[in-house]
Structure 1
Amino acid sequence: MRTMGKKPLKLDERIWLIDNFDMQMGQRTGTYVIDEEELTLVETGPSPSVKHVKAGLSELGFSLEKVKYIIVTHVHLDHAGGAGLLLRDCPNAVVVVHPRGERHLADPKKLAAGARGVYGDSFEELFEPIVAIPKERLLVKTEGDTLQIGTDTILQFLDTPGHAKHHFSIYDPVSNGIFTGDTVGIRYEKLIHSGVDFYLPTTSPNHFDPKAMKHSIDRVKRMNVDRIYFGHFGMTEDVSLALDQVERWLNLFVAEGEKVFAQGKGYDELANRMLQEVQHHLRDQGIADDHDIYVIINLDMQISALGIMDFLQKNNGKH
């Protein structure tokens, strides 16, 4: 798969991917467009990404009036923060959300406060405005629920915690693919361009749970899907490779976190150790330390280390 410019990427005859340019970075987050009788979007990105979603839909020839469903895998702001803003211009749409996420989209104050604590002074630039969604325009789906978006297309919802408690994944039977948000990790598109398939878990605070994440990974493994559609970023058909990598790095990162916790050190020490492990691995793959992927990976290690240390503090250093 290759991403060129700002045009939506065609994954097959019915699914497209719009680059959200989250944090003004390409290939960071994306919005999937499923071209069915009921036009369906998966993820919106944060509010500053909404202009890119609109431009992408226009490029594909879809009016905002045609959008019927906006599905968010979970309510973290880099995936769902723009849902309220986008919904204002999609008069016929509803937002589909996990039951644990519904109240946060209806009243996002607590969600915003949590993100502000992580992102600090960068919060406004990255996420504002965060628009509340009227409850009548929220549609809750949970484990085992379905959503018919076409005559022969019925999406299926799976509760997949680990990254967040308010997280579901969406199985698409037509492509035998699954939209996994953040539960089974991150795909680094920029490294794909350099010839390296690379996937890492994302363990951000404050719901990270390694056992739940492993269970979700194992569940996707057992489904024998042909594709994973990642929230960050893009689609892979190398499903086993992706899931095995994420599980291996998850075990390594948590084990390293336990050592750091036992030594009485902080998340910054863990982030540095995690980064060193990644750099060592990528050097062996021919990736230089000054590759621009590290703009993203540095941030990911900081946030993931926060989540691991938060989990260990809540559980006395053990998982």
Structure 2
Amino acid sequence: MSKTIDLGQQITLTDVYDLGMEQRTGSYLFHERDLTIVETSASPSIPYLLKGLKSLSINPRDIKYIIVTHIHLDHAGGVGLLLEKCPNAKVVVHPKGKRHLANPSKLIAGARAVYGDQFDELFDPIVPVPEERLITKEDGATLQIGENRTLTFIDSPGHAKHHFSIYDPVSNGVFTGDTIGVYYPQTKTNGFEFVLPSTSPNQFDPDAMLNSLEKIKNLNVDQIFFGHYGRTENPQLIYEQIWYWLPKFVDAGKKVMEEKPDSSLDEKVGAVSNELLRSVTEFLAEKGIDQDDDVFKYINVDMQVCAMGIVDYLLK
């Protein structure tokens, strides 16, 4: 099973079935002189990514660059494993993420704290990346991958401090990882494009997220490529939805913290998650999307993790 979609302008998207879910996480490929992958997802996704390359008649030995927008395991957890199949590739990462790819012990500990007994099934193995195969890109730095294609890296914290977005002039598009949200292509069957902020622990910062959104908006792009999942050609709609939802998410957290000051951490997270789900469910019902819709399989997972990040942020 592998699904690869031609997005035009020498870009393809491969569904890598993160968490075993279709249209959950995507990996992008630039078909340029220097073949370049953006996002790998976690290690269990790597077989799907390799099958995608095979279906495109691409030998992994010919991959030149593997870019990860940030080092959360659902975006970069599989990069070390993929690198074993791509002996001529270098990994491009935010400067704040480099040491964690070279020595992933803290990443592993953090993910175990969030995912507990599910960790091995979701993320194992996490393979260190040799230091000599890591390249960092500061804000505004570039990478030429083809005669007429030079990517620009934009420091974009908010979801994480180790996050950059990637501007591509050929598509006039930007690869935003998680910094301006999770895109739910499942709702497009209802004629509605839907995105929610990704507020996962432990570096969520709403002010930084809004600043990053402003930076991205000022690029005047025609399309946005999301880590989760796919592409929109309606950037303004995305900005408006993040502006709408981000304060609602934080307010939901504040409400729970005020009402339940003595509750345990798990109880607070559960209450925030329920509050977020209630708001989103009501909103989507108005769009004709009920609770039995497939999109809620994804939203239910995300609201739990978003609630953890919001509670963590407010406790700090």
Give the structure-2-normalised TM-score: 0.97
How far apart in 2 are the matches of 1:105 and 1:86?
13
Residue 7 of structure 1 and its aligned partner are, at CA, apart by 2.6
- Runs of 4+ in structure 1 off by over 6 angstroms are none
Report if the CA contact (8 A) 1:47-1:127 is conserved: yes
Report if the CA contact (8 A) 1:73-1:181 is conserved: yes
Of 119, 125, 140, which aligns to 2:121?
A: 125
Of 229, 233, 240, which aligns to 1:233?
A: 229
Residue in structure 1 matched with residue 50 of structure 2 by the alignment: 54
Residue in structure 2 matched with residue 275 of structure 1 by the alignment: 277
Residue in structure 2 matched with residue 317 of structure 1 by the alignment: none
Whether 1:190 and 2:192 are equivalent positions in the alignment is no
Report if the CA contact (8 A) 1:217-1:247 is conserved: no
How far apart in 2 are the matches of 1:274 and 1:13?
37
Of 13, 19, 36, which aligns to 2:32?
A: 36
Matches within 5 A, 1:68-83: 68-83=64-79
How far apart in 2 are the matches of 1:294 and 1:6?
23
How far apart in 1 are the matches of 2:194 and 2:2?
23
Report if the CA contact (8 A) 2:2-2:51 is conserved: no
Unaligned runs of 5+ in 2: none
Report if the CA contact (8 A) 1:40-1:68 is conserved: yes
Secondary structure at the counterpart of residue 8 of structure 1: strand
* Percent identical: 53
How far apart in 2 are the matches of 1:283 and 1:17?
30
Residue in structure 2 matched with residue 63 of structure 1 by the alignment: 59
How far apart in 2 are the matches of 1:126 and 1:292?
21
How far apart in 2 are the matches of 1:91 and 1:302?
38
Residue in structure 2 matched with residue 98 of structure 1 by the alignment: 94
Residue in structure 2 matched with residue 211 of structure 1 by the alignment: 207
Residue 193 of structure 1 and its aligned partner are, at CA, apart by 2.6
Report if the CA contact (8 A) 1:84-1:130 is conserved: yes
Secondary structure at the counterpart of residue 95 of structure 1: strand
Residue 196 of structure 1 and its aligned partner are, at CA, apart by 2.1
Secondary structure at the counterpart of residue 88 of structure 1: helix
Matches within 5 A, 1:133-144: 133-144=129-140
How many residue pairs align between the two structures? Answer: 310
Secondary structure at the counterpart of residue 155 of structure 1: strand
CA RMSD of aligned residues (A): 0.9
Q: Which amino acid aligns with 2:108?
A: A
Whether 1:170 and 2:191 are equivalent positions in the alignment is no
Residue in structure 2 matched with residue 27 of structure 1 by the alignment: 23
Residue 104 of structure 1 and its aligned partner are, at CA, apart by 0.5
Residue in structure 1 matched with residue 315 of structure 2 by the alignment: 313
Q: Which amino acid aligns with 2:94?
A: H
Residue in structure 2 matched with residue 260 of structure 1 by the alignment: 256
Post-superposition Cα deviations, 1:75-131, rounded to whole Å, max 9, x if no partner, equal 000000000000001011010000100000000010011011111111100000000
How far apart in 2 are the matches of 1:159 and 1:194?
34
Residue 194 of structure 1 and its aligned partner are, at CA, apart by 3.2
Residue 222 of structure 1 and its aligned partner are, at CA, apart by 1.4
How far apart in 1 are the matches of 2:227 and 2:270?
25
